[in-house]
Structure 1
């Protein structure tokens, strides 16, 4: 069977290379090709780097007061939602060009469900009779929405290794984890870049995490030598490998065995784990080994500095250990981004300020992740009922929807800008932005810039929470 496998264009305020590594699609492609099918994969979000600017959807009109046209500079927020990839009609023409027998559409997050539906509509207009299936994390967490659209002949949920077992030619005893390596469009400091997932599933039960709804809680591993062989087949010795696993340190013995083998085979390669490492499972001795084996940067997940909030999320903390790790990395000149989640149940302006204040005093860049609901998480099981909105676009992190009702959209955006300000104040670039930072610190108000060169203008950011700003700036006075 000839199959066109599609990652549709996405609409969002931003994108990063690892978000569109399409590891799930590569898994599907490998499973189906092993079963004897001819699969052509189209990763449209990175297709020829096409970007357009569609109108803001009506569901996001509440963001209009916060969008500053032409905003730029180091404390900016987003100012324009974008369409990454060709038009849906052009994508349909490309995917149908080779006369496939079936279309399979990937929806890697519920927040992009509308894009999957738009892709299906475009295909229906051009080839009304062709079978269309959809799968991925989006259908896995809310299959009823996709079934109710009437656009898809089949909605596949859960991990591909299981949900494709009824596909013609796929063996019942196929391996529980499909080994995958994906080349990334953008280079890493001039070197080729690849991404992979060594494992699937996570045994932790953090209440804010929805990955188990697609990948399950059983921790499953690929054979280290298989991934190394796949990398060797590319014929490149000096490259960067990003590991996108949910929790690499669930089995540290497996992880260290892989890294030892990897470094022995590719001594000039470098490593990172962009999806983050659980700092509580990362000892100082293991951190040193990771650096020796090629890690050149670290993303760490703090979630929150508030132990009571974390307890409600079924998560713990060891802030003293985190501080020791950050000193350790700083001494070795290894850059670190430490992430916290803003808007968790129980969060307040004060708890968010404490998160920022704690990280402001550490040797780390701050990463902020606005909390966003996912259908199936506790309290968000039934989109479109009660107080739960149905529109998928609201479930995107960049939509900063006030899910738990404890922080407003204005406060979430204020916190985002303040994290950028703290990063600026701690960086060598602060001198070239001295006029901006002095104005902010003097007036306890957030300012930003528009324009460039002689046309650069400083202006106060409207609708921000000045009290939150004042509390955070106390750490710098």
Structure 2
């Protein structure tokens, strides 16, 4: 049986290497064997600016051109294109079945575009699977012209579906939904899987574990991979690495895509030994975040010794009630103790937290921002996005529309308004911008700032984004508001953003009175710096 395996285009303000990665196509190709397959990467590096969809037009007022590095999103994009699939060539291949993988419910519209395009010239079975489908397979069947929606791991049912189609038998397996048969998924079924190993240039992407025994209310891992923590056999990882033709002279960057790789420390240590043996020189990071509750001083030192290049920590919130409601069972003091150890070493840190969880308050989110401002870490704010059938949305009465379920949509799913969500997002970026500058760089900074009506401006050839950002920070702190930068003629104008006044007032009061900001080098940025710079810079 001959199978076409495709990804699909999607739209958003931004993308990431993971979203543009075609490795999943070839991973699925290994799963469907002995059936033959051909992979079609319809995302590639194709990126096109498009208009913001009508459903997101409420964001347009925030997308003004801004030359600082703490700006809001300014352009909306389409990544990939269904038109990359040539109809004549595709039909000539005489595929018996099409398999489309989709990684997020919020990108449903891009999948719909692809399915409608394919159905113009192809009428044989189409199977759709992946994380997006696993969250709500019925939605996909109700709104797409497809034959099967697969919930859960592909290893459990994909080959069985293909065998049944080939032999003309009824497709009747757990986790496989069709127009005629809506079955219950068995995510807890025992299954094994191969390690995900994808090499592009000097970057090696790995995913070696699946499932999660934890009970975080907003997480969708269980819908796709189950609640049992599973590990791919290490001998299969070694075999996969040996087939990749790795260059012993290169220093590779390894990106672990796992959500809980350090959950089993003995397994992780075995993985690192295999990587040392087969990859040679490398650094690594956990781009999806590492669970800091699994760490201690000995393990932190071991990770540093092994070549970790950046810490990606997941905090969620500093508020106890928010953590409790989200089923994040730890206390803030544990994060403090881990950070006290990590801060001893000169490595970048990003701490992720969630803004706008159902039941959360803007005061709690601001408290998290102010708390992290005083830590040697960048702030990784993520606006809450609802995933169907997770515990966090069980009481949600409003329909979850895919376009609004993106983190970048800043939609009001709980008690925090869109304007407040964007204000908190902008403050996080503002703090991060401050953190990138050393005390010496601030002291050496020189600029002449003038005022015109309600705006501030500078003249001359200052086109450097870093300098414009420093100026914007200075104007913002002295005037206790967030100012963005646009160019009008030969002048760079700094204008006040229309954000939530109460949050802005509390933020600037805090950083001027009782909250310190610690930069990425661990230096404290004090209030005396701002006042001294303003006295030298401002020209009334």
Q: TM-score, normalization: structure 1?
A: 0.90
Does 2:327 align with 1:314?
yes
2:144 and 2:374 mapped to 1: Cα distance? 53
Does 2:464 align with 1:466?
no
The question of whether the paired residues in 1 share the 8 Å contact of 2:91 and 2:122 is answered with no
The question of whether the paired residues in 2 share the 8 Å contact of 1:11 and 1:84 is answered with yes
The partner residue of 2:93 within 83, 86, 98 is 98
Does 2:42 align with 1:44?
yes
1:330-367 CA-partner distances (Å, limit 9, x unpaired)? 33211110011111233222211110111011111110
Look up the match of 1:424: 433
Look up the match of 2:206: 196
Question: Any runs of at least 4 consecutive aligned residues in structure 1 with deviations exceeding 6 A, and if so which?
Answer: none
2:403 and 2:95 mapped to 1: Cα distance? 30
The question of whether the paired residues in 2 share the 8 Å contact of 1:104 and 1:134 is answered with yes
Deviation at 1:224, TM superposition (A): 1.9
Look up the match of 2:424: 415
Does 2:170 align with 1:141?
no
Classify the secondary structure of the residue corresponding to 2:38.
strand
2:162 and 2:403 mapped to 1: Cα distance? 35
The partner residue of 2:345 within 332, 351, 355 is 332
Look up the match of 1:443: 479
Does 2:124 align with 1:116?
no
Look up the match of 2:169: none
1:226-247 CA-partner distances (Å, limit 9, x unpaired)? 2233223222233111111121
1:419 and 1:203 mapped to 2: Cα distance? 31
Deviation at 1:134, TM superposition (A): 0.9
The question of whether the paired residues in 2 share the 8 Å contact of 1:444 and 1:466 is answered with no
Q: Which runs of 5+ in 2 are unaligned?
A: 165-172, 174-188, 443-466, 513-540
2:285 and 2:92 mapped to 1: Cα distance? 38
Does 2:79 align with 1:63?
no
Look up the match of 1:394: 404
Deviation at 1:120, TM superposition (A): 0.6
User: Bigger relative contact order, structure 1 or 2, given CA contacts below 8 A and separation 6+?
Assistant: 1
1:29-70 CA-partner distances (Å, limit 9, x unpaired)? 1111xx32222222322x2x22112232222122222221x3
The question of whether the paired residues in 2 share the 8 Å contact of 1:177 and 1:200 is answered with no
Classify the secondary structure of the residue corresponding to 1:298.
strand
Classify the secondary structure of the residue corresponding to 1:166.
helix
Does 2:283 align with 1:273?
no
Instruction: Rate the CA distance shift 1:373–1:175 in 2: closer, same or farther, 3 A.
Output: closer
**Where do 1:56-455 residues align within 5 Å?**
56-68=52-64, 70-86=65-81, 88-91=82-85, 93=87, 96=91, 98-125=93-120, 127-168=121-162, 176-184=192-200, 192-236=202-246, 237=248, 238-378=251-391, 380-381=393-394, 387-404=397-414, 406-428=415-437, 431=442, 432=467, 433-451=469-487, 454=490
* Count, aligned residues: 458
- Aligned-residue Cα RMSD (Å) equals 2.4
Deviation at 1:379, TM superposition (A): 5.6
Deviation at 1:452, TM superposition (A): 10
Which of structures 1 and 2 has the bigger CA Rg? 2
2:310 and 2:329 mapped to 1: Cα distance? 24
The question of whether the paired residues in 2 share the 8 Å contact of 1:26 and 1:180 is answered with no
Look up the match of 2:451: none
Instruction: Rate the CA distance shift 1:74–1:400 in 2: closer, same or farther, 3 A.
Output: same
